[in-house]
Amino acid sequence: MSDPCTMTPLLRTPRFLPFLVLLFSIVWISQHPTVAQAKSSWVLPIQAPAMLVRSYLAPNSDYSAGHRGVDYSVTPGQALVSPSDGVIAFKGTVANKPVLAVQHSAGFKTAFEPACSFLPEGSKVLMGQPIGWICPDLLYRSHCHPWLCLHFSLRHNGQYLSPLALIGGLAPSVVSK
């Protein structure tokens, strides 16, 4: 009978493997900005102080219920500014609701409802620049009814995130004892 330890070939980690992992990590991080890297260049899309009336609620899956954005109490005609540099990606009506969307760098996109703009699609906008106004029409019914609210959503490469992660307002996680 032979010793089982001698039957298994000796496996060694190549010396260059840690270098490859480090190199891959650096390349990946440079191509995928984190929320922390983007946070410094974002502002609230309405004039402060703003009253948050409904927070972001992540859905369990792409098709389940959730609240894919945050809601702020607003008034008709209130000014709307770009939360970061970008390009007007869409303005129009979606499900009888006036929507305005801005494409930002690094795969971020914001959308606002009810929002209107005189700027044409493709217009470059800067952080804090007026881009539109709150514009509920007679047929519009706010999902914050009986109050009027601005729905502000954020996507990164198609995945919804809380806009508060970039503009501030998320409380840090706390581990209780």
Rounded to whole angstroms, how far apart are CA atoms 171 and 118?
A: 36
Phi and psi at 22, nearest 5°, equal -60, -45
When pLDDT is averaged across residues 140-168 and rounded to a whole number, the result is 90
Which SS3 state, helix, strand or coil, does residue 107 take?
A: helix
Res. 165: pLDDT tops 60: yes
pTM of this prediction?
0.73
Between 39 and 66, whose confidence is greater? 66
Q: What is the pLDDT of residue 38?
A: 52
Q: In CATH, which of 2.40.50.140, 2.70.70.10, 3.30.497.10, 3.30.70.20 is domain 73-160?
A: 2.70.70.10
Q: How confident is the model at residue 10 (pLDDT cuts 50, 70, 90)?
A: low
- Joined tokens for residue 122: 């493709």
Hey, CA dihedral for 159, 160, 166, 169, is it positive or negative?
negative
Mean pLDDT of the chain: 81
Is the pLDDT confidence value at 176 over 70? no
Q: How confident is the model at residue 58 (pLDDT cuts 50, 70, 90)?
A: confident
- Reported in sequence order, the residue ranges of the chain that DSSP labels E, i.e. its strands, are 52-54, 70-73, 79-81, 86-94, 97-104, 108-113, 115-116, 124-125, 130-134, 149-156, 159-161
Q: What CA–CA distances, in Å, run from 89 to 115, 144, 170?
A: 13, 26, 27
Is the model's pLDDT at 80 over the cut of 50?
Answer: yes
Alpha helices in the chain (DSSP H): 4-7, 17-31, 35-38, 164-167
